[in-house]
Structure 1
Amino acid sequence: MSPRAYRLGQRQAATEQTRMRIINASRELLMAEHGFSHFSMEMVAKQADVARMTVYHQFGSKTGLLEALCDSLAASGGMEQMATVFRQSEPLEALQQYIAIFGRFWNADRLVTRRLRALAALDPEFEQVIRKRDEWRRKGVRTLLSRIVEGHKQPGTETIDETVNVLYTLIGFEGFDSLAGPERSLEDVADLVYQLALAAIDRLIPGIPPSS
């Protein structure tokens, strides 16, 4: 390896370390009892022990930082498994897997997720990032429900849009969090969410069999 390539590799490694330190500082700040409500680029820089301009240089804006934090949470929460869901040939089994993956994801950083979503109600930049990811979840629900509906002609009492809204709500963090309560993990309620999802689908397609 040439000296120039070696130095470039060192700089890239140092940059990545700084980036991860800032992301971890953001997570720590959201977990702190009195820190999350004052979340700002300045507070993150202080927590990470870097200059405020370093945070801006790495992420460009608070939205960029929040995007990176959410990506990090998705990676640590196992969301890469989602790719297997849409390769599943049986759509009800795919839906069950989809729900189970979200149960594990929501549970992986429950406090951080709760506070991110609470701040989305107060801060437009948080809201923008969370809304985008929620729409990804809604799109996934619609794709799976469309596959379930395909080939079934018997109409029920609900429309596909109404059922998408119900499933989207059930599979959201707030749905899992409420059903789990203080005693159970969010992962533990995935089967209950799936049963509720089947009940909602039955109103759209009466008599549809559960996944085996």
Structure 2
Amino acid sequence: MTVKRPRAYSSAVRDAAADETRARILAAARDVLAGGPEQPAFSLDGVARVAGVTRLTVYNRFASKRGLLEALFDDMARVGGLFDLPQVIGQADPEAALRDFVGVFCRFWATHRSAMPRFHAVIRLDDDLAASLAERTERRRHALGALVRRLFPRREKADADLVDVLFALTSFEFYAMLCLRGRGAKAIEALVQRLVAEAVDDYR
């Protein structure tokens, strides 16, 4: 008499295998985007070769190159702490929310500091990838605009100059420039926090 395994167990095994495959594909996508003489161009085929799976496997999970990139960005955001932003922005005290917002992005840039320049260089060569990155970057500007409106509720709209300054101060480009003198992550975050506070105070 044959004893069948419980269906729930089989499903759990399949789910675990699918998660492992997805993680392997995302790791390969990070490696490909990071570039290097032995890395292929960023495509479903290229990522599949590095991950050791078929192109169809990558397609079935992500549907397109942009879908794969979006999933990779989401994974980087999770690892770098950006998934904490809804709770940060939702704090009752807008000044505390802005401080924590700055801290989250400083730690995110610190986590991915070595990979970001190569990622940006590769992404700018592809219009679809560049558009995806630009959309995500603009989310930071929109969030800062909402925080500025909460800081100055009596004003009819958030001042574009202040939002642009805060947007620049919390960018990776600015963070990378502060790394040049050998500053550590904590020192950079403290400096950015001070500059943000001064910008807000000047606006009052």
Residue 194 of structure 1 aligns to a residue in which SS?
helix
- Partner letter of residue 34 of structure 1? P
Structure 2 equivalent of residue 191 of structure 1: 190
Match of 2:136 in 1: 133
Match of 2:103 in 1: 100
TM-score where L is the length of structure 2: 0.86
Is the 1:29–1:35 Cα contact (8 Å) retained in structure 2? no
SS in 2 for 1:111: coil
| Equivalent of residue 46 in structure 1, options 33, 44, 49 | 49
The reply on whether 1:19 has 2:28 as its aligned counterpart is: no
What is the rounded CA distance, in whole Å, between the counterparts of 1:32 and 1:194 in structure 2? Answer: 32
Partner of residue 66, structure 2 = 63
Match of 1:148 in 2: 151
Say which SS state the counterpart of residue 6 (structure 1) adopts. helix
Rounded Cα–Cα distance in structure 2 between residues aligned with 1:45 and 1:111: 24
Say whether the 8 Å CA contact 2:35–2:122 is kept in structure 1: no
Taking only aligned residues, the RMSD between alpha carbons, in angstroms, comes to 2.4
In structure 2, how many angstroms separate the alpha carbons of the residues matched to 1:34 and 1:165?
37
Other-structure match for 1:110 = 113
Q: Does structure 2 retain, via aligned residues, the 8 Å contact 1:116–1:126?
A: no
Where structure 1 has 5 or more consecutive residues not aligned to the other structure, the ranges are 154-158, 206-212
May I ask how many residue pairs the two structures share in their alignment?
200
CA distance in 2, matches of 1:137, 1:191: 20
Deviations 1:44-97 (A, max 9, x none): 111100111211111000111111111111111122322332233322222111
| Secondary structure of 1:38's aligned partner | coil
**Residues 190/36 of structure 1: CA separation in 2 closer, same or farther (3 Å cut):** farther
Q: Residues of 2 paired with 1:119 and 1:32: CA distance?
A: 7
Q: Match for 2:52: what amino acid? A: D
| Distance change (3 Å), C-alpha of 1:87 and 1:137 | same
Q: Residues of 1 paired with 2:197 and 2:82: CA distance? A: 23
Q: 1:28 to 1:182 in 2, by over 3 A?
A: farther
Name 1:180's counterpart in structure 2: 179
The answer on whether the counterparts of 2:106 and 2:175 sit within 8 Å (CA) in structure 1 is yes
